[in-house]
Structure 1
């Protein structure tokens, strides 16, 4: 199972509709980068889908969250077994920065910075205006990064859906009290 959450693990609202999450991950930076851009490795923590590493390239993301952890936990009734979304690479600077479009929001930027033998991942998801979507996105990114961290550390992640549900409740309290 994953370690207990600390305050530093939670995302914050950098602006009213902008989520920012920072997490120290085991390096090296090239390994973490590969988990962002390689569809097979990305499938293990977020969503499958090929991605050309060039600006303007389409990225089809395919979520099958029931497959992320064993056991997967209890999937909420409103969540489908599979979800697909086509994004576009907006900016790319291997192995430091990847920005992609994200539905009707302002997009997601992943920034990686070396910190000794660890890598600081900074995720910024901009213009998530709807509060219900913001809660789902905040819990989702946090839960997916928890799985990524576990994969990189070689540990077993917590059941994804149970973690997501608890995090959604946590973020509701944090953001909207």
Structure 2
């Protein structure tokens, strides 16, 4: 599994942050779209989609097996095979922008605009980084096995982001 590059974060006013990842994967964007926009795909690396109305303005409820959190919101951007954005009560705005690189690789430009203090920012950076590593494993045919997931890797990542 190739390593995910560290993200950047920038403040957007008191208690507001924008987190950004740029993830390069050796898969065509057509292969990535269902992984970030379908219940079956999301479950392999991110969350269980308890509600997912796949359209602009559609309802979404995601349950994170790793933390036990469940959050609802709506789909606030939908450009088939290019952009999907979920705006969730606790996670804020999460946006996946897929850009093809040739015919067999894709850049995921990810943005998470959210609230929280610095500790929550570090937790979110480590959490997203961990999930993007799980995404790469899922694309390689090794989906997340949530019952065996531990927070060890996430703790390592959090320490790295804090340093």
After TM superposition, the score normalised by the length of structure 2 is 0.84
Deviation at 1:156, TM superposition (A): 7.9
Higher deviation after alignment, 21-30 or 148-157 = 148-157
Question: What's 1:76 paired with?
Answer: none
| Equivalent residues of 1:62, 1:83 under 8 A apart | yes
Note the alpha carbon deviations across 1:131-165, whole angstroms, 9 max, x for none.
111111111111001000111123587x6521111
Question: What's 1:64 paired with?
Answer: 65
Distance 2:101 2:56 in 1: 27
| Equivalent residues of 2:73, 2:89 under 8 A apart | yes
- Identify unmatched segments of 5+ residues in structure 2: 12-16
Distance 1:160 1:26 in 2: 26
Q: Check 1:148–1:104 CA distance in 2 against 1; reply closer, same or farther (3 A cut).
A: closer
Question: What's 1:73 paired with?
Answer: none
Deviation at 1:102, TM superposition (A): 2.6
| Equivalent residues of 1:26, 1:153 under 8 A apart | no
Q: Check 1:29–1:135 CA distance in 2 against 1; reply closer, same or farther (3 A cut).
A: same
Question: What's 1:91 paired with?
Answer: 77
Deviation at 1:112, TM superposition (A): 0.2
Of 129, 133, 145, which aligns to 2:132?
Answer: 145
Note the alpha carbon deviations across 1:118-137, whole angstroms, 9 max, x for none.
11011101143421111111
- Greater fraction of residues in strand: 2
Of 8, 27, 30, which aligns to 1:12?
Answer: 8
Question: What's 1:164 paired with?
Answer: 154
Other structure's SS at 2:57 match: coil
Q: Are 1:52 and 2:53 counterparts?
A: yes
RMSD of aligned alpha carbons: 2.1
Question: What's 1:75 paired with?
Answer: none
Number of residue pairs the alignment of both structures matches: 153
Q: Check 1:104–1:161 CA distance in 2 against 1; reply closer, same or farther (3 A cut).
A: closer
Please identify runs of 4+ aligned residues in structure 1 that moved more than 4 A.
none
